[in-house]
Structures are given as C-alpha cells and as structure tokens.
Amino acid sequence: MRDVLDRVGDKWSVLIMAMLGTGPRRYTELRRSIDGISQRMLTLTLRSLERDGLVTRTVTPTSPPRVDYDLTAAGRTLSREVGALIDWAEQHREYIATARRTYDER
C-alpha cells in the first residue's frame, strides 16, 4: 500500500491529477499551469502516473507532435478525492499559516 500512497500523495501528482480532473490537457498546458515544476519532473511524474494506470498519453503525429494526457477511469475516481484534499487545503491555508507562526514564535 505504501508504494501507491507514495505515488498519489506526492505534491506533483496531486496537482497534475487535479488539473486533469477538469479534462484532457496538453503537455505544454500542464507545464505552464503548474508553478515551479520543471520539465523533467513533469515528464517523470506523468510517466509514473501512466505506468500506474491513472493517466493515458495520446500522441498525435503532427509537426511538432501533439501530446495529450487524460485520466483513466481509475484516475477519475482518484481525482475526485484529490480535489477534496485541494479544497480542504485552500479553505485552511490561512489557519495553517497562523498555526505555523504561533508555533515558531514559541
């Protein structure tokens, strides 16, 4: 179980799953939309999610090639759970920041 939780619980996987939860995205869309992710890390994370059966990769032979990513059925079920986690984080961001400041001041 730990290997699955390690994959789906890392920060880049969570953000990618959330973005793909709204529909298929091109590689370049993902890269522009995820602040702080390097091209290498995006590629590695997408490959891992594809290997785990959570994401599909479709290459359209154009010049340059178009690469789209989408969630599988299993990926969509996980995306809903990830979305709830992101919603919670957004709702409690200020609370966490305040708690950290209080703790650090002690």
Between vectors from CA 74 to CA 70 and to CA 76, what angle results, nearest 5°? 55
In percent, the amount of the chain with pLDDT more than 90 equals 72
Average pLDDT for residues 15-39, to the nearest whole number?
Answer: 94
Mean pLDDT value across the chain:
92
Average pLDDT for residues 66-71, to the nearest whole number?
Answer: 95
**pLDDT at 9 (0 to 100):** 78
Between vectors from CA 9 to CA 4 and to CA 104, what angle results, nearest 5°? 145
Higher pLDDT, 10 or 91: 91
pTM of the model: 0.83
What tokens appear for 48 in the block?
């891992």
